[in-house]
Amino acid sequence: MDGTTRRTVLGGAAAAAGMVLGNSAAQAQAQGGTGGAPAQGTPPAGLQDPRTKYTNKPFPEQRQPWPALQSKMTPPPDCGETSYRGSGKLTGRKALVTGGDSGIGRAAAIAFAREGADVAINYYPTEEPDAQEVAQLIRAAGRKAVLLPADIRSRDNCEKIVASAIKQLGGLDILVNNAAYQQSKESILDISDEQMVRTFETNYFAMFRISKAAVPSMPAGSVIINTGSVNSYDPGEELLDYASTKGAILIFTKGLAKQLAKRGIRVNMVAPGPFWTPLQVAGGQLPGTMGKFGQDQPLGRAGQPAELAAHYVLLASGESSYTTGGAVGGNGGKGNP
C-alpha cells in the first residue's frame, strides 16, 4: 500500500464533510435561515396570528329584537362567505342544519355546500332575509338548497322539517342540531317561567325530537352533530337556563352516540366559546356589556363562525370515522373541552 491508512481515509472524508456542512451553514446564515427555510422573522405565506386574524376591538353596544338578523349586526359576523374553500370531503352528502340562516349554523351550511353536499336549512320565519343569502351561497357552490322556515318548539314542526328535508334532498345523512335561544339574566329571580320553558323547548326538546324523527331514515355512515357550548362544562352565571340546556346536550350526545353506534351512526358535539352571532345582540348579553364580549379570552377576542366551519366538516366526514360521543372545542384558550 502507499501508506494511506483506513484511519486517514476516514479522517479526510470527515474533514471534507465538515467543510461542506460548514459552507452550507454559512450560506444559510447569510440567507437568514437554515435548510432553505424562510428567513427568521418572515412567516410562511398564509400563516396568521390567531390574535389578530379577526377584529379584537370591543364590539359596539347594540340590540335587536329576537331572533335578530345577521345582516344588521355591526360588524356582521364572518361565516366563511368569501373565505371557505372546499375540497370534496362531503361530495354527494345530504345535510339538514337547524339555525342555518346565520352564525354558526350558516358557517356549517356554507362549508357543507362547498364540500359537495346538498343542504337544507331550518330557521325562524322572521329570519328569511338571512336564509335567502345562505340559499344563494349554497346554489353558487353548485348544490341544492332547501329552505325550511319553522318554529321548532313544537313536535309537529320538528317532524315536518325532517320529513321535508328527506323528501326534497332525496335522503339525509348529516344532521346538525344547532338552533338555540339565549337570554342573559343576572339572577334566577329574573328568569320567567316562560323564558325557561322556551329555552328548553328550543335548545333541547327540539334537538331530541328532530334526532328521533331523523334516525330511522339515516343510513350507516351518517352523522349527527349537536352544537353545545363551553357552558356545557363551565356555566356562565348569567346564563342559568341556557347553560342548563347545554349541559343536557352534552349528556344527550354521549348517550345517543352509544345507542346509534349499533346502527353505524356517529354522534358528536361542537362546544363553542364566545362567538359573534345574532344570539349576542338579541338578548344574549346583559345590557351595557357588549364591549366586553370575548375580551377576556386568552386570544383577546371573540371567535367568528367561520372559525368553526372546519370542525363541523371534519365531524361530518368519513375522516373522523372512529370519533363518536365526543366533543370538539373552539374557545380561544379558555374553557373545555
The torsion angle over the Cα atoms of residues 224, 245, 270 and 213, rounded to 10 degrees, is 10
Q: Quick check: is 242 catalytic? A: yes
Q: At residue 51, what is the residue type?
A: R
Q: How far is CA 53 from CA 47, 75, 135, 259, 272, in A?
A: 10, 15, 27, 40, 17
Cβ neighbors of 122 (< 8 A, separation 6 or more) are 96, 97, 98, 99, 100, 148, 149, 150, 152, 161, 179
Quick count: other Cβ atoms within 10 Å of Cβ 190? 12
- Gap between the Cα atoms of 272 and 104, Å rounded: 9
C-alpha grid cell for residue 286? 346583559
Q: How far is CA 95 from CA 109, 146, 174, 309, in A?
A: 8, 10, 4, 14
CB of 31 closer than 8 Å to CB of 39: yes
CB of 221 closer than 8 Å to CB of 173: yes
Catalytic residue among 181, 242, 312, 322: 242
Q: What is the DSSP code string of 200-251?
A: HIIIIIHHHHHHHHHGGGPPTT-EEEEE--GGGTS--TT-HHHHHHHHHHHH
Cβ neighbors of 73 (< 8 A, separation 6 or more) are 62, 64, 276, 278, 281
Q: Find, among 187, 188, 181, the residue nearest to 204 by Cα.
A: 181
Render the burial of 278-290: b for 16+ CB within 10 Å, e for the rest.
bbbbbbbbeeeeb
CA 263 to chain centre: 25
Catalytic residues: 242
